[in-house]
Amino acid sequence: MLTSQQKGNSLESAVRAIETAILRQVPGYHEKTFRIEGNKKIKTGQGVRHEIDIWVNVEIAVGYTATFIFECKNWKANVGKNDIVDFAEKIKVAQAQKGFFVAKSLTRDAKAQAKSDSRIEILLVRELPMDEVPGRMQSFHGIFTEVQDRRCTITHGYEQGTTTPVDLNSSVSFTMGGREHDLSAYLKEWIDEVSGKYSAGFVGEGVYPFEESRFFSANDVAINQERVKQMTVSGKVEVRRIPGVIVSRFEVATRGRVIQCLVEFPNGASVIMQELMVSHKG
């Protein structure tokens, strides 16, 4: 369940994605000719602070820019007249050419108030029901792998090989091709490469043991000045399927629609899959 702040942010994110796509399709426009800012930009007029949901600056010619602002209300209740009055003041303070007020519904007085100001355009938005969300978005997921019981052993010498374990947290001299390297970083990259194979070709959830060896020619690799013939890493990889959550599913009248699915991984990383369709001709 999204909080009221998350609900508001989800609509702002959707509108920002749609407007960015609209501007990108205008011939000659790219990220250097327009700038879209979110995250509640603050403008102050006569000592009064005004919070602006989305701020758009567009370069219409060399040395000339136009400003547009957006107010996003992801409310179940109707937007009232006073909200439109407040928005008109924001347009004035921002010195914007136009303001777009995005909402699900408005009172009769709010609609009349908006019509009285030519700078204001109402954009009605609806939240798409889940049966209009494509199955590929509803089933979107991420694969999370976690390596357990990491181990490394090395075989010294070429005549009488001796196998010994390596302390992965120890600081040792590790040379390869005559150059000094960080052994911990080398082993981490190697183990990550091995474990990545399980997420790249999803084998199903579970815990899988692994073991992989690398062989080196004489004098190519040394640990603490002792030649290494073979190095082996082993351990277990836990594979988990992390389902996504639909965080945004809006259609903004005359502009477009966007669906966003978020996957949050146990390690704090996240990924968003977005499906966007623009109906407005920029």
pLDDT of residue 41: 73
CA distance 50 to 188: 49
Q: For 38-60, what is each residue's pLDDT tens digit?
A: 767 777 777 777 789 999 988 87
pLDDT of residue 32: 66
CB atoms within 10 A of CB 259: 24
Domain locations along the chain: 4-137+245-278, 147-242
- Residue 29 clears pLDDT 70, i.e. is over it: no
Closest CA to 237 of 150, 142, 141: 150
User: Could you say which of 1.10.390.10, 3.40.1350.10, 3.40.50.12160, 3.30.70.2190 is the CATH number of the domain covering 4-137+245-278?
Assistant: 3.40.1350.10
Average pLDDT over residues 229-246: 93
Residue whose token pair is 């029901």: 129
Grade residue 161 by pLDDT with cuts at 50, 70 and 90: low
Contacts of 274 (CB under 8 A, 6+ apart): 17, 258, 259, 260, 261
pLDDT of residue 1: 56
Average pLDDT over residues 213-232: 89
CA distance 240 to 109: 53
Structure tokens at 44: 């102050």
Largest CA-CA distance found in the chain, in angstroms, rounded: 92
Whole-structure pTM value: 0.75
